[in-house]
Amino acid sequence: MNQFHSSNREENTKTRIETQYFNLISFLFLLMFIFYGMKNGIARGFKITVFIWCLTVCTTPISSASVLLSFPIKIFTTIPMFITKSITSVLSLGILAYFYHYNYNLICKIPLGRAFVKIIKSKLYALFLVSIIASVITSYMLDNFVDHFILSNTKMLDKDKLGEMLLLFLIFVFLNLIYFNILIKHKIFEFGHKYYVL
C-alpha cells in the first residue's frame, strides 16, 4: 500500500515538473504570437508563430517547442514524451513542407523563414534528421533523469542504465557537433552580416 502511494506521489511530482515546463514554453509562444499578431495582424501572426514553432521542433537538437504537443498527448494517453516528440517532429515536417509550397512569400519576410528556405534550397535535409534524433534523445534522457534523480529515493543508477545514459549522451554530443558543423559550414543564419540562431 505504501509502495502504491509512493509511486502515485512520484508520478504526480513528475507531472507537476512537466506542467511547469509546458506552461513556460506555452507562455513564450503566446508572447511570440502577440508580437507577430500586433506586427502583422492576427491571421498572419498566427501563421508565423506556427511556422516558427514547427521550425524550432525540427531544427533544434534539444527538446523544447515540441512539449506543446507531446505533454498534452502524454497526459491523455500516457505515451512517453520521447515517443510523442518523434510523432510531433514528423507532423512539424509536414507543416513546414506546406508553408514552403503555399506560404513561401510569407516565410521569406522573416529571418528564420529565409534560413529555412536556404536549408531547403541547399538540400541540407541532414540538419532535420540530426536535430530530430538529438532532440528525441534529450527527451528520453530528461525523462530518465527526472525518474531516477528527482523522484527516486536512490540517487544511483544501476550499471546498465548508467551505461545507456552515457552512450546516449555521447551520441547526443556527436550529433550536436554535426549540427553546428552544418550551420557554420553553410552559414545558414548569416544574412547581411547578421547571424540568426534557432
* Counted domains in the chain: 1
pLDDT tens per residue, the chain (198 residues)? 555 455 566 566 666 766 776 677 777 767 777 777 777 677 888 888 889 889 988 998 887 767 767 666 666 676 777 888 888 899 999 999 999 999 999 999 888 899 999 999 999 999 999 999 999 998 888 777 766 665 555 555 677 777 888 899 999 999 999 999 998 888 876 544 444 444
Decide: 49 and 91 in contact? Cβ < 8 Å.
no
The reported pLDDT for the residue numbered 141 is 84
* DSSP type of residue 137: H
Q: Considering Cα of 85, then 91, then 96, then 97, what sign does the dihedral take?
A: positive
- Name the burial class of residue 84, with classes exposed (0-12), middle (13-18) and buried (19+) by CB atoms within 10 angstroms of its CB: buried
Compute how many other C-beta atoms are within 10 angstroms of the C-beta atom of residue 41.
Answer: 11
Compute how many other C-beta atoms are within 10 angstroms of the C-beta atom of residue 23.
Answer: 12
In angstroms, rounded to a whole number, what is the distance separating the alpha carbons of residues 65 and 171?
22
Compute how many other C-beta atoms are within 10 angstroms of the C-beta atom of residue 153.
Answer: 6
**3-state SS assignment for residue 5:** helix
**3-state SS assignment for residue 147:** helix
In which residue are the cell numbers 503555399 written? 102
Domain encompassing residue 121: 2-195
Rounded to 5°, the CA angle 14-139-79 comes to 65
Rounded to 5°, the CA angle 60-77-54 comes to 25
The conformational region for residue 89 under phi > 0 = left, psi -120 to 50 = alpha, else beta, is alpha
